[in-house]
Amino acid sequence: MKALFIKDLGLMKGQKQFFAVVLIMMTVFLSAYTDYSFVIAYITVMFGIMTLSTISYDDQDNGLGYLFALPVSRRDYVKEKYLFSFATTIPGTILVTVFALVVSRIRKIDFCIEEWVMMVTVSLLIVVVTLVLMIPIHLKFGAERSRLALMILFGGGSLTIYAAVKLCDALGIDYISALDRLADMSPAVTLTGLALICAVLLGISYRCSLMFIEAREF
């Protein structure tokens, strides 16, 4: 697995233009806005999605077929993708958060440390949800077809949410009050619940990814 980490780090070193664009966007956003929650969440998600490019590179020109001809198991490959995603996303989140804190002090913007902790935690949870969806899809359909699969998935999800809202309105279900009660819960309880849900989703995602990669023929 160490060799896979080294390979993916080498691929990331070739993404200098991407890092330059992210740095410019981050600087512009932090200079123009006073609410940094969107900036931290956006950059964190960008770091998470960036790791998916390693799967696309591996899949080019039947690269996975050559890779699995080496002493690399499919289980180790899947495990490395999840570990590498978090190994790059968490430091990236810490760096952008520290940078945002420094800018906020320079611009003399007041902030609450509890709100920042909540903001960073929610950003990481968003990345987890994004990765648990996208990694299995990339491994199942490959780099090209995964784009169409994601469009169908998010389009279907949006339609499902829209239909659920309309159904609640038709049945007279006050879902707004339910959401308000969730919002009134203590941050610790909310984050603990979200973390447990993400852990379950992560386990399901890993099993699906392993099943998909083992079913593929190269």
Range of the domain at 35: 2-215
Give the whole-angstrom CA distance, residue 7 versus residue 80.
11
Burial class (CB in 10 A: 0-12, 13-18, 19+), 136: buried
CA distance 65 to 217: 8
Residue 175: partners with Cβ closer than 8 Å, 6 or more residues away: 165, 168
In the DSSP assignment, the letter for residue 42 is H
Could you give the number of structural domains in the chain? 1
Question: What is residue 89's predicted lDDT score, i.e. its pLDDT?
Answer: 82
Model pLDDT, residue 157: 67
* Phi-psi group of 2: left, alpha or beta (phi > 0 → left; psi -120 to 50 → alpha; rest → beta): alpha
Q: For the chain, first and last CA: distance in Å?
A: 20
Residue with tokens 């998909």: 212
pTM exceeds 0.95: no
pLDDT of residue 4: 84
DSSP code at position 34: S
pLDDT tens string, the chain, 218 residues long: the values are 778 888 887 777 777 777 787 778 777 777 777 767 777 777 777 777 777 778 878 777 677 777 777 888 888 889 988 988 888 888 878 888 888 778 777 777 776 666 667 777 777 777 788 788 888 888 887 766 766 766 776 677 677 777 877 777 777 776 667 666 665 666 677 777 777 888 888 899 999 999 988 887 76
**pLDDT value of position 49:** 74
In the prediction, which pLDDT does 204 show?
A: 92
Alpha carbons 8 and 52: distance in angstroms, whole number: 10
- Nearest CA to 79 out of 121, 125, 139 is that of 139
* Per-residue pLDDT at 23: 78
Encode burial over 72-111: b for 16+ CB neighbours within 10 A, e otherwise.
bebeebbbbbbebbbebbbebbeebbebbeebbeeeeeee
Q: Angle at the Cα of 32 (from 104 to 92), degrees rounded to 5?
A: 60
The residues near 107 (Cβ < 8 Å, ≥ 6 apart) are 34
